[in-house]
Amino acid sequence: MHKWCTYGPWGKKMPSFIGQLVEQTGNTGKIRYAERQMYPLEYWDMDYVEVFETIEDAIKFMLKNGTDRYLSEIKECFNFPSTNVDWDKINL
């Protein structure tokens, strides 16, 4: 099972995106940014990636620290439609 992550160009403490960490080798992570993405996995320096066990934890972190601060914006841009997210568990 892949772990969830947040990541972005401003570093792990100010993420822009949510994805799945598919593989990590050293300080490089391969990230899936969408469930049915058409392009190859993205490679990111792990200094820009924060890893989580659950999607809800990743979303909470994104709400607190990310560039998209509203849950409605995260829901609208969420690229994993078949993932069963318990949106009610996400309270800040």
| Domains of the chain by residue range | 3-82
pLDDT exceeding 70 applies to what percent of the chain? 93
Q: Which residue has the higher pLDDT, 75 or 31?
A: 31
Name the strands in the sheet holding 42-45, side by side, starting at the edge strand that comes first in the sequence: 42-45, 28-32, 17-25, 3-7, 49-52
- The model's pTM is 0.87
List the single range of 10-14, 61-65, 66-70 with lowest mean pLDDT: 66-70
Tell me the pLDDT band of 92, cut-offs 50, 70 and 90: low
Q: What is the pLDDT of residue 28?
A: 97
What is the spatial distance between Cα 6 and Cα 92, in angstroms, rounded to a whole number? 17
Record the tokens describing residue 43, joined without a space.
């490679």
Sequence-distant (≥ 6) Cβ neighbours of residue 75 within 8 angstroms: 87
Arithmetic mean of pLDDT over the chain? 88
Amino acid at 74: I
Looking at per-residue confidence, does 67 or 55 come out higher? 55
Q: Looking at per-residue confidence, does 2 or 46 come out higher?
A: 46
Alpha-carbon span 35 to 4, nearest angstrom: 12
